[in-house]
Amino acid sequence: MRKALKLSCEMITRMAASRVSSGNRAHGGPNKTALGNDTVSGSSSEAPWLIVGLGNPGDKYTTTRHNAGYLVVDELLADLLPAPGSLAQHRKTNSLICQSRIGETPVILARPRTYMNESGAPVANLAKFFKVPAERVIVIYDELDLDPEKVRVRMGGGDHGHNGLRSITKALGTKEYVRIALGIGRPPGRMDVASYVLKPFSKAENAWLPIAVADAADATRACVQQGVEAGMRYAESRG
């Protein structure tokens, strides 16, 4: 059962790491079952899904709003079965990846090793390397134009000023990939947007952050197991 804990995003990361090492996992939401961390190649005739969490590498960015996508990938990794997964370097695509399954479906969980604004090349290289069509690419990111705590799923659309999405759209050559947004809201007053997204989540935000991260992870699983429309419905049902 999901716990509405008042945890910082540092604690979310530590909890995910703890589950990776211990094998413990939470329950609730869409089916979280996976069949292990076997490689995708040759394991299924079905095209895999590429699930990418956006953020910036480096310890100083770990707790920032711009790294919301990283937190969701951590949540997904921690809930893989029969054992939690971990990311490993994939030099050919300049990414960190984990090849596994969600339900019966092969997936590649990934983080580009570049900074946010240069996410496109690693994502396009991953899609090419693993033969993933654009419509099976899921990008998880922070969204200024979405109320805090909300999650939204959509296929295609504009980048709304998000440089990570802009880079990915250019590199893939299409807008038709899946976006899962975790709302962070607009900065207060006259605060600069760049400063806002690169600041840590506030104490008030840490009250809802674990639930929002879990909702985004559940929406991702719904997309993979039941289709993008199911992911949209799930996100909408969470209010």
Q: How far apart are CA 226 and CA 218, in angstroms?
A: 12
Residue 160 is among the residues annotated as catalytic for this protein: no
Q: Which of 66, 90, 160, 162 is catalytic?
A: 66
- Report how far apart, in Å, the C-alpha atoms of 195 and of each of 9, 33, 200 are: 18, 38, 10
Radius of gyration over every alpha carbon of the chain, rounded to an integer in angstroms: 16
Alpha helix stretches (DSSP H) within 32-176: 68-78, 120-129, 163-172
d(CA 186, CA 120): 24
Cα 175 off chain centre by: 18
Is 117 annotated to bind ligand? yes
Q: Residue type at 234? A: Y
Residue 115 marked in a binding site? yes
What positions carry a catalytic annotation?
Answer: 66
Which residues define the annotated binding site for tRNA?
61, 115, 117, 163
Which residues define the annotated binding site?
61, 115, 117, 163
